[in-house]
Amino acid sequence: MEFELSEEQRAFRDVLRRFADERIAPVARDWELSGRHPTEIVDGLAELGLFGILVPEEYGGLALDAVSYGIVFEEISRAWMGIAGFLGTHSLATNLLTRFGTDEQRRAHLPDLAAGRRISALGLTEPGAGSDLQGITTRAVRDGDAYVLNGVKTWLTNAAIAEPIVVLVVTDPTAEPRHRGLSLLLVDAGLDGVEISGDIPKLGYHGTSSHEVAFTDVRVPATALLGGEEGLGFKQAVSALEIGRVNIAARSVGLARASYDAAVAYATQREAFGHPIAEFQAIQLKLADMATELQAGRLMWHWAAAAMDAGGRSDLQTGMAKLYCSEMALRASLTALRVHGGYGFSQEFEVERYYRDAPLMAIGEGTSDILRIVIARRLIAGEALS
């Protein structure tokens, strides 16, 4: 197993790191607190071609390998995790189009999406169905050359600016097992009957917007059925979530790295009893644990990404990486806050933002408990640990 990045990957990481350090980190705290839309940052992402990271080169994308894909999200999240979320949802939607779309659908959407001229969103979760995607109730009924769509989706990142929204729907409510009755539709947010809420107020994950979207008798052209065949939506969505878990694992490591860096900087500057607190063993133990877990997390997501690049099934590896890294980010953000003492509770310091952003990592792309079940089932089925 390779534990080092290739020369090309290191050069790519360095470009992203400079971008994050120079154009994201200096404004992240102020823009996050004010609710300012990060227009200039989004423009910079487009300049770097990052909206096409999973799009084939023939459509103007970068077609990155999974390790390079993870590097994008680790470096951006180190500066501002919310920005990585904006890009992450878009990349999952483009991945679905790339892998499962018809030739016509790819030609119609991917060039603009890869260039950042359009942004996409993903509508899976509903008010009554989160981890249990088979429990969704949003219906799409075929009526001539269209589907009539009714239902509500929630927690859609980018929905207010999305074109299209990739929506998981029930096309056959009688199917057994139930997942065979689910499909994905490419829905134009400007169609009659689509109502998008304002930004959902959140603890963290600012810099990107989250919305509830209601569909009332929305007529969606039948040509918008992803792949042109009904009943494949569940399989398509779950498959896309595998690389989404690499995304979340890498974002978690970026967030943990930011927490660690802040803790070290503060501990070497803050004095108590006439000495920098970094000289006290209690602080040293915390920093040592943070650094060790951080490096372990990075190796975990690299391992999972490498498994994806090798081809074949990788839900065990991606599940383990996302589980470990997200829980590690929670611990790191809390430890950094504790190292800061009372100042960690102040918005004057970045660590309170890291602490607010971290919980989402243990929820998005499968909660920690759901992933434990996924992992256990793969182990019980006989998958060996390499």
Distances (CA, A) of 374 to 72, 323, 367, 377: 26, 11, 11, 5
Q: How far is it, in rounded angstroms, from Cα 213 to Cα 233?
A: 19
Phi, psi of 191 (to 5 degrees): -70, 150
Q: How far is it, in rounded angstroms, from Cα 53 to Cα 43?
A: 15
Catalytic residue among 4, 57, 365, 383: 365
Instruction: Collect all residues with Cβ–Cβ distance below 8 Å to 132 and sequence separation of at least 6.
Output: none
What type of residue is 281? Q
Q: How far is it, in rounded angstroms, from Cα 116 to Cα 113?
A: 5
Q: How far is it, in rounded angstroms, from Cα 163 to Cα 119?
A: 6
Q: Is 274 left (phi over 0), alpha (psi -120 to 50) or beta?
A: left
Is 365 designated active site?
yes
Q: How far is it, in rounded angstroms, from Cα 294 to Cα 39?
A: 31
What type of residue is 180? R
If we measure between CA atoms, which residue out of 292, 297, 291 comes closest to residue 264? 291
Q: How far is it, in rounded angstroms, from Cα 227 to Cα 101?
A: 4
Give the chain's length. Answer: 386
If we measure between CA atoms, which residue out of 83, 109, 84, 104 comes closest to residue 94? 109
Element (H, E) at 204: none
What type of residue is 6? S
Q: Which residues are catalytic?
A: 365
